[in-house]
Amino acid sequence: MHEVLSKKQLSPNVTRLDVMARRIAEIRQPGQFVIVRRGEGAERIPLTIADADPAAGSIALVIQAVGKTTRELVALNPGDAIQDISGPLGRPTDLITSGRALCVGGGVGTAVIHPIAQGLHRQGVAVVSIIGGRSKEWVIFEEELRKLGEVIVCTDDGSYGRKGFVTDAAKDVLAAGGVDCVYAVGPVPMMRAVVAVTKPLGVHTIVSLNPVMVDGTGMCGGCRVSVSNETKFACVDGPEFDGHLVDFDLLWDRLGTYRAQEQESMARHEESCRIGLEKPKAD
C-alpha cells in the first residue's frame, strides 16, 4: 500500500497527490511513468512521475479527473492509500547536454514537462518553458518551472500572461533562433501543431504520447503507435518519440477506441454517487 502524504488542487480538475513509493523515488528519471491501481479490481492507469523526493521516499502524481478511475483517485485524502504503484516504467527522456531547450506544455501536459525541465537544468542546459491553459486558473506548475528558467504563460482568454495558444508563443521563440531541441507534451492537436512549426525549421522535437495503456510492459499491445511507419509500443519504446516521425492521425483514432465504454462507465459511476447521496441517513 502507498500512503497519500499530501494533496493539492492545481486547477479545477487537476490534483496533485504526493504518495509514498520509496524505491521508485530513488531511481526514477525524467520521462518515466508508473501504472497505478487504486484497489482490488480497479482499472490500471498510467501516470507520469511529475516530481520525486528521494529523501522522503515520495513521488508526485498529477491526475486530471475526467473519468471514473481518475475521479476516485483525486477523492483520496492524506492518510488514504493506493494499493498498487508499479514503476518506474518507460524509457527516460533523451536529454540534450548543452545549448538551449524549449519545453512546451499544454494543460496537464505541463506536469510531464516539469521533470524534463528539471533534468535539462541539471545538465546545465538553458531552459525556456511555454505553458498554457484556458484561463489563469487552469495554468499549473508555473512556480516550479520558473526555478528552472524562463517561463512564458499563455491563456486562451488572455486572463493571464499572453493571450493565445502555446504554439503561437513557440513560433516567436523559434523565430528568434538558438533553440537546439523542443520537448512538447499536451493534447494531441497541440503536439501536432508544435511539430508542424518545428519540422520546416529542422529543430529536433520530442513528444510524449498517451495511447491506451494497460500493463505497461508491452504485452497487451494496447499502446501501439506508428513512428516512421513502424509499430512501436509507447510503454516500452517510449512514451517519448521523435515528433517529426509520429503518425498523429492514427494516435488520435486509437485514443477514441474505448470512448463509448468510458462514457458508459462514467454514467454508472455518477448514478451510483447520486443514489448514495439520496440514501436516508440513519437516526
pLDDT tens digits for range 177-232: 999 999 999 999 999 999 999 999 999 999 998 877 666 666 777 778 889 888 99
**pTM exceeds 0.85 for this model:** yes
* pLDDT attached to residue 273: 52
How far is Cα 270 from Cα 4, in angstroms, rounded to an integer? 24
Does the domain at 2-89 match CATH 2.40.30.10? Answer given as yes
Domain ranges of the chain: 2-89, 100-255
pLDDT tens digits for range 66-97: 888 899 999 999 999 999 999 999 999 999 99
Interior CA angle at 263 toward 261 and 265, to 5°?
70
Q: Is the dihedral of CA 191, 193, 195, 201 positive or negative?
A: negative
pLDDT tens digits for range 258-275: 454 444 544 454 555 555
Topology (CATH) of 100-255: Rossmann fold (3.40.50)
Cβ(255)–Cβ(211) under 8 Å?
yes
Q: How many CA atoms lie within 13 A of 247 on its CB side?
A: 16
pLDDT tens digits for range 144-185: 999 999 999 999 999 999 999 999 999 999 999 999 999 999
**The three grid cell numbers given for residue 128, joined into one nine-digit string:** 525556456
